[in-house]
Amino acid sequence: MGLITSLLAITLRAGTSLVYATIGETYAERAGILNLGLEGIMLMGAVSSFATAYYTGSLALAIIVALGVGGLMALIHAFLSVTMKANQVVSGLSITLFGTGFASFLGQRLGPASNGYYLVGLTGPRFTPFDIGGLANVPILGAVLGQDIFTWGTYLLIPLAWFYLYRTRNGLSLRAIGENPRTADAMGVNVNRAKYGYTIFGGMLTALGGAHLALAYTPGWSENITGGRGWIVIALVIFSMWNPARAITGALIFGGINAVQFRLQASGTNIPAAFLNMLPYLTTIVVLVAITWWETLSKRVGSPASLGTAYVREDK
């Protein structure tokens, strides 16, 4: 396998969890809900799916549990920010604080007695890349096709998410809600139901991203397995200008730098590992600032206008 092909393979794998969460959060933000709880939801998705897979041996069940946990945590956020009209930043941060702490707690309690009740260091069932036979040696194509089911899922999810948002009736309503909920409401769109729905959907996809980490990317559970990916996603949503199709570029940049730094570390370079580990984050920040600066200069459309604000119909 050539260098480019192997780098691409790692890039796609590293970017997968980001694609899920970015698209999920894009949908939530299009509905005007800023969910800063992503990091917590992702961690909870990871720990719950790994524990389920370890005990039941069923990967399908593990995914269902992750979806349920993610949906439930997002439901709390939706309830606080839609029904209770709480400050979305506070609500989201609480969910991350809770999720981070609780996932860590579960990681120390859910394990078998033989492992001191710890989940860390155990191996369970995992998703492996599809065996594509001879195709694996085809440059580029081998990297794209020789992936696990999660990464394959993103190939479908990205175009579907784009099509839904820009070509369907529901997508039109969704875009309108984020820009101008009052107008959407007056035109007969059920604003609050949509806000709930898309926030929960976003939480489910984010937890799925977490499950990908624990079941495929770095199989197993470890403290802070997400490495702050939940926060990176918040940035990637902005970077992709709330367009699901552009979520792929953000994920590729972060995943790509990850792949390169792995490669460098493996090659025994004398650049400190800590610096290399930092690179994906640093690059994301730099690119994000540059892009935002450029978009502002060129007066492109920005964030959904109602993002982060509660909608009240009869505000007199």
Partner 1 sequence: MTETASETPLVEMRGICKSFPGVQASDNIDLHLDRGEVLALLGENGAGKSTLMNILSGLYRQDSGDVFIRGRKVDIRSPRDAADLGIGMVHQNFMLVDTMSVAENVILGMASLAFVPDMAAVKRSILELGERYNMKVDPDAFIWQLSVGEQQRVEILKQLYRKAEILVLDEPTAVLTPQESHELNDVVKRMQAEGKSAVFITHKMDEVIAFSDRVMVLRKGKVVAEKTTRETDPKDLARVMVGREILFHIEKAPFSPGAVVLELKDVCAEDERGLPALRELSLQLRTGEILGIAGVAGNGQRELSEVITGLRPVKSGGISINCVDATNHTPLQIINSGVSHIPQDRIAVGAVGDMSVANNLAMKDYRSAPIASGLLIFPWRILEFARRMIGAFNIATPSPETMVKFLSGGNIQKTILAREIEACGSLLIAVYPSRGLDIGATESVRKQLVAQRDAGKAVLLVSEDIEELLCVADTIAVMYDGKAVGVMPAEGADPQEIGLLMAGVSPSGKESRP
CB of 174 to partner 1, least distance (A): 11
CA dist 139 and 118 (Å) reads: 41
CA dist 163 and 229 (Å) reads: 26
Residue 194, phi then psi, degrees to nearest 5: -65, -40
Q: Does 182 bind partner 1 (CB under 8 A)?
A: yes
Helix (H, G, I), strand (E, B) or coil at 206: helix
Residue 221, phi then psi, degrees to nearest 5: -115, 135
CB of 71 to partner 1, least distance (A): 23
Find the part of the chain contacting partner 1 (CB under 8 A) among 58-66, 153-161, 188-196, 257-265.
188-196
Tell the residue number behind the tokens 């590729």, with chain if given. Answer: 252
Among 173, 192, 222, 243, binds partner 1 (CB under 8 A): 173
Q: Does 176 bind partner 1 (CB under 8 A)?
A: yes
CA dist 32 and 246 (Å) reads: 19
CB of 293 to partner 1, least distance (A): 15
Among 4, 89, 187, 282, binds partner 1 (CB under 8 A): 187
Answer yes or no: are the C-beta atoms of 204 and 67 closer than 8 Å.
yes
| 168 token code pair | 């369907």
Q: Does 183 bind partner 1 (CB under 8 A)?
A: yes
Nearer to partner 1 by Cβ, of 104 and 192: the residue is: 192
Answer yes or no: are the C-beta atoms of 178 and 189 closer than 8 Å.
no
Among 76, 86, 172, 238, binds partner 1 (CB under 8 A): 172
Q: Does 295 bind partner 1 (CB under 8 A)?
A: no
Answer yes or no: are the C-beta atoms of 70 and 203 closer than 8 Å.
yes
Among 152, 179, 243, 245, binds partner 1 (CB under 8 A): 179
Number of residues engaging partner 1 in binding (CB under 8 A): 25
Print burial letters for 165-195: b (CB count within 10 Å at least 16), e (below 16).
beeeeebebbbbbbbbbeebbeeebebbebb
What is the phi-psi region of residue 147: left when phi exceeds 0, alpha when psi lies from -120 to 50, beta otherwise?
Answer: beta
Nearest to 11 by CA among 3, 242, 208: 3
Among 89, 90, 140, 186, binds partner 1 (CB under 8 A): 186
Nearer to partner 1 by Cβ, of 15 and 171: the residue is: 171
CB of 220 to partner 1, least distance (A): 42
Q: Does 184 bind partner 1 (CB under 8 A)?
A: yes
- By rule CB under 8 A, what string of x and - marks binding of each residue 141-170 to partner 1? --------------------------xxxx
Amino acid letter for position 22: T
Answer yes or no: are the C-beta atoms of 13 and 154 closer than 8 Å.
no
CB of 22 to partner 1, least distance (A): 21
Question: 143 has which bridge partners?
Answer: none
CB of 82 to partner 1, least distance (A): 17
CB of 301 to partner 1, least distance (A): 5
Q: Does 115 bind partner 1 (CB under 8 A)?
A: no
Residues lying near partner 1 in the complex (CB under 8 A) are found at 167-170, 172-173, 175-176, 179-180, 182-190, 299, 301, 305, 313-314, 316
